[in-house]
Amino acid sequence: MLHTTANRRHHPDTATRPGRVGRWRLATFACWLVLLACLQTVHAEDGYDLWLRYAPLETQAAAGYRERLGHLVAPATNATQRAARDELVRGIGGLLGKAPAQADSVDGAGALLVGTPSSSPAIGRLGLELDALGDEGYLIRTVDIGGNAATVVAANSDTGALYGAFHLLRLLQSRQPIDALDLRESPKVRLRVLNHWDDLNRHVERGYSGQSIWDWHRLPDWLDPRYTDYARANASIGVNGTVLNNVNANAQILTAPYLEKVAALAGVMRPYGIRVYISARFSAPMEIGGLETADPLDPAVRRWWQAKADEIYAKVPDFGGFLVKANSEGQPGPQDFGRSHADGANMLAEVLAPHGGIVMWRAFVYSDEEPDDRHKQAYTEFVPHDGEFRDNVLVQVKNGAIDFQPREPFHPLFGAMPKTPLMMEFQITKEYLGFATHLVYLGPMYEEVLRADTHAKGPGSTVAKVVDGSLDGHTLSGIAGVANIGSDRNWSGSHFDQANWYVFGRMAWDPSLEARAIADEWVRMTFTNDPAFVEPVVEMMMASHQAAVDYMTPLGLHHLMGRGHHYGPAPWVEGGPRADWTSVYFHRATKEGIGFDRTTSGSDAVSQYAPPVAEVFNDPARVPEDFLLWFHHRPWTSRVASGRTLWDELVHRYSRGVGAVARMRDTWAGLDRHVDPERHHQVERFLAIQQQEAQWWRDASIAYFQTFSGLPLPEGEAPPPESLEYYKSLEFPHAPGDTQ
């Protein structure tokens, strides 16, 4: 109106006579409407909604669901109940085009009942058997109430009902039938936790998706709505804990001002069943407490930690506990005072126990001196203390013994500490797998590790059974994931990296789930249910991890990345403060051959595994070829399963990885009609980056290793386009995610 009035002032006749100016205005207004609609569409598909888009279903599918979900009967007397109710209203309304009517009681057909026997009289009258579901499990069942079909989501707790609500929405999002439901779900792992390597200045170590989402400066007074959406997303996949700060911890987070901020975040997480944890710096009593020591057996130190625990729980009654990185990579720990890992963990566990808190004590340790073999050190330091840890301590073990490499054999600690609960630590952020720009779906890697057989108690003693506690009868169990979440609008830096957050949560809930099924689920929820899109994209995702291993670290090679920033190939790295921070220490290439000898004739790391596993790893004819050079130093001209020489196979796999990425690009390019332009464009450009960098990995690695093999390239293989000196000269001082 203001615009019209202003124009009338200068053109008094244009309000009464149609003409060129009037038509121009109408056209302009129409253009603005189209532009506004486009902007709204772009905003809606920028990735912020993750797998909780709740995009409208096809008319026929929506109509069928509406008959079953016409009205909602759900309590809303506390925050968790309201979260479940609001999610169902939001989700069903978005998917079906109309939110369910909310009612106090079942009224005819199409009722959806959600709650617990204590919160919902209608559910209480059904006499459902819920005891075996525990505190977090749920039941989704089609029932008959007064001659009418109804759908019930029932649990023993409000959090369980919330998880069940998300499961029901997942069924709708993936177009599953809901006419005759009878589902019972409960988590197989007790603690399902994200580890944020976030610093208090909002830098994220090994983070590739912007700043930390925790805005410490504005906390506790400003609670960004993003925190609630973070909690929603985690609850939707069953994550029930978050460690707010970096394992390379700053003791300041234990001071009163920061504990107020932690309490504010805990208040946002609580309705969604999520407990907050803190990474505790072991030397905090000295740094912020004024003590002269942090010796865990010193009475003054124990009193300081007891007072600190009491202070924390006064502010956060449901505080989860501490994550600790100690005596690793320069971090302080009990060994600084002549004490063991068990001494340090037990001191903290003792002060947390009265409050119900737990300690997650990381087993990622290696000495500051040049080691015999880093692969062996965690086993050497922890196995002697099996059975010495308090019952509220979990030893948190990385999936492999080195450091989140593109592929590693399972860590030898799994199966070697039957008296101690071992918590799996996976990396979700792709520190060694191309950061956020490479499409690498981690589900197959998680699945490979969890299904690996430790043989600790005979065949079938899988890593998953160690982690979920079933192998050794532990009730305390956990899986942690180093988060890939940041301030980027799409949370994870790239759209496909959201799938790694998703698959982590789903496998943490149930380690027996299949990576392919989870990928299918995620694609349908995140993009579309059209089989013409779902099938090729799932195939692309399932092949992506092997592709990355091929172009980065084929045949069991490892630790070949650039120093410090870990970006790009640098197999030539040598020198510096310690040998095991170099590439040459791990690949050990000579003119005779390549690979790290960890057999009984080498470092003997194989003997840390159960005998049936050790026998396989020790034999170059039996070891899986994906781990050949992890355990064996082999001649360049030795033969592998394909009949090729080792050198030819190495080159073949490098090229195979590059070719796989090229095919991914072609696949994605042909799917543009199924995806909104913004998301399609970003994935398209990132795949171009990935292909370029895969080629770089291939060419730089071949140029370097050929100086040792002295062998020609196999027929048909193109030589690197640049000299080895060129690849060595490249520098990347601004690569993201490096330590500060």
Instruction: Provide the annotated active-site residues.
Output: 329, 403, 431
CA 43 to chain centre: 25
Q: To 10 degrees, the CA torsion angle through 726, 732, 735, 740?
A: 140
Residue 478's nearest CA partner among 731, 186, 700, 187 is 187
Number of C-beta neighbours around residue 60 at 10 A: 7
> Closest Cα partner for 499 from 428, 448, 406?
428
What count of residues does the chain have?
Answer: 740
Element (H, E) at 576: none
Which tokens go with 91? 């989700």
CA-to-CA distance for 288 and 249, rounded, in angstroms?
13
Contact 146, 133 (CB under 8 A): no
CB-based contacts of 332, cutoff 8 Å, min separation 6? 281, 282, 283, 294, 326
Cα–Cα distance for residue pair 219/370, rounded to 1 Å? 43
292 residue type, one letter = E
Q: Percentage helix, strand, coil, to 5, in the chain?
A: 45, 10, 45
Note whether 450 and 463 are within 8 A (CB): yes
Alpha-carbon span 261 to 250, nearest angstrom: 15
Residue found under tokens 């407990």: 275
81 and 115 in contact (C-beta within 8 Å)? yes
For residue 104, the 8-state DSSP code is S
Query: Within 10 Å of residue 438's Cβ, how many Cβ atoms?
Result: 24
CA–CA dist 161, 170 (Å, integer): 14
Q: Three-state DSSP class for 394?
A: strand
Closest to 242 measured CA to CA, from 191, 203, 188: 191
- Between CA 155 and CA 118 the distance in angstroms is 10
* 248 contacts 331 by C-beta, under 8 angstroms: yes
Name the strand (E) or helix (H) holding 631.
helix 628-631
Among 588, 581, 541, residue whose Cα is nearest residue 561: 581
Q: Where are the beta strands (DSSP E) in 292-405?
A: 321-324, 358-362, 393-398
CA 125 → CA 108, 113, 116, distances in Å?
17, 12, 11
As beta bridge partners, residue 394 has: 360
Cα 678 from Cα 45, distance rounded (Å): 7
Which tokens sit at 705? 């290793």
Could you tell me which residues are beta bridge partners of residue 73?
113
Task: Please count the CA atoms within 13 angstroms of the CA of 428 that sit on its side-chain side.
Answer: 31
> How far from the centroid of its chain's Cα atoms is residue 348's Cα?
27
Q: Which amino acid is at 606?
A: V
